């Protein structure tokens, strides 16, 4: 029988109603008591690492979770992390960079309704997560939600209330949990030594373009950033209103200051390609901007936090950014 560690961090799955709304207050031991059939799958232990709404999850929390896995790595066959849904995709992405080449499964899950309720998706999501964590082929960082097994770097919350809250963005789901067993669509192979990291650079910010955006915003947010990710329109580009190059000039100034700029897209699927239109082609070439292509926003942010905690050398950052990790970028 495999040994699995439950790491509880809070979220809706652990919430109870109060006069001011749902508040995480159910402990890890109580979660297991409310899902007794998990004991039939494996030998399970639990740690209450934190008990917070996932809106309050931060890079410090990501590091704390990764360190908990590291400290217990040799003593368990796998890990299940309960977490709120709102920032679950960010945490899964962050753990994909903080815990690399894990031959043991690190499984994240949560729910749209509390495990405290009778009518809830919590017990199924939790049970499915343990089924996957106990599977012989399971490895790496994944989200298990609504029966789907999603690579940690490709997940996104796409619905606020429905049980099928998460999708795998521009990458197939690894498989599903069906009738108590794992059915794989893709076979994953982990190569290399398992590596843990414990530093992130939080000076990574996103600026979403809106029509008529002020150039001053580029300067304002750029000053507070080592990395500025710009979510543009369509396949990507920087507008030039009535021949005014102020936006491009601000980016040029930021580049001179050593800022790393990444062009992205606000479109949910199929990624960016700045070379399609003139508004992107010339700017990318002239300013030598990075582009995240089909990476998710969540994985782009977390990858840059990880990279720039290691180095801020522009050439090395570019090299590391375009190196695929856990299927985060697909060429």
Q: Report whether 54 belongs to an annotated binding site.
A: yes
Catalytic member of 85, 87, 173, 265: 85
Q: Of the candidates 157, 169, 186, 158, which has an alpha carbon nearest to the alpha carbon of residue 293?
A: 169
Q: Report whether 86 belongs to an annotated binding site.
A: yes
Q: Report whether 158 belongs to an annotated binding site.
A: no
Catalytic member of 9, 12, 82, 300: 12
- Dist CA 169 CA 154 (whole Å): 5
Is residue 265 annotated as a catalytic residue, yes or no? no
Is residue 12 annotated as a catalytic residue, yes or no? yes
Residue 136 makes CB contacts below 8 A (sequence gap 6+) with none
Catalytic machinery residues: 12, 85
> Could you tell me which residues are annotated as the binding site for substrate?
54, 85-86
């Amino acid at each position: 029988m495999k040994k699995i560690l439950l790491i509880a961090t809070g979220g809706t799955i652990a919430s109870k109603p109060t006069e001011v709304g749902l508040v995480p207050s159910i402990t890890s031991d109580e979660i297991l008591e409310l899902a007794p059939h998990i004991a039939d799958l494996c030998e399970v232990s639990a740690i209450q690492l934190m008990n917070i709404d996932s809106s309050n999850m931060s890079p410090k929390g990501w590091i704390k979770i990764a360190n908990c896995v590291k400290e217990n790595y040799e003593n368990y066959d796998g890990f299940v992390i309960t977490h709120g849904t709102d920032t679950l995709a960010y945490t899964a992405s962050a753990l994909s960079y903080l815990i690399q080449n894990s031959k043991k499964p690190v499984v994240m899950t949560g729910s749209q309704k509390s495990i405290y309720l009778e009518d809830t998706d919590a017990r199924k999501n939790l049970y499915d997560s343990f089924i996957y964590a106990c599977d012989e082929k399971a490895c790496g960082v994944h989200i298990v939600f609504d029966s789907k097994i999603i690579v940690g770097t490709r997940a996104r919350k796409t619905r606020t209330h429905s049980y099928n809250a998460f999708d795998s963005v521009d990458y197939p789901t690894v498989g599903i949990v069906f009738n108590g067993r794992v059915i794989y669509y893709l076979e994953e192979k982990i190569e290399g030594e398992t590596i843990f990291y414990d530093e992130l650079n939080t000076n990574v910010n996103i600026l979403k373009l809106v029509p008529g955006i002020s150039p001053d915003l580029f300067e304002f947010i750029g000053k507070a950033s080592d990395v500025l990710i710009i979510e543009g329109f369509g396949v990507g580009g920087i507008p030039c209103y009535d021949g005014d190059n102020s936006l491009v000039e601000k980016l040029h100034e930021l580049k001179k200051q050593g800022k790393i700029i990444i062009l992205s897209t606000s479109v949910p699927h199929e990624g960016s390609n700045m070379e399609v239109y003139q508004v992107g082609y010339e700017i990318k070439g002239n300013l030598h901007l990075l582009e995240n292509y089909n990476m998710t926003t969540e994985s782009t942010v977390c990858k840059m936090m990880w990279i720039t905690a290691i180095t801020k050398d522009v050439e090395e950052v570019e090299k590391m950014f375009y190196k695929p990790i856990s299927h985060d970028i697909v060429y």
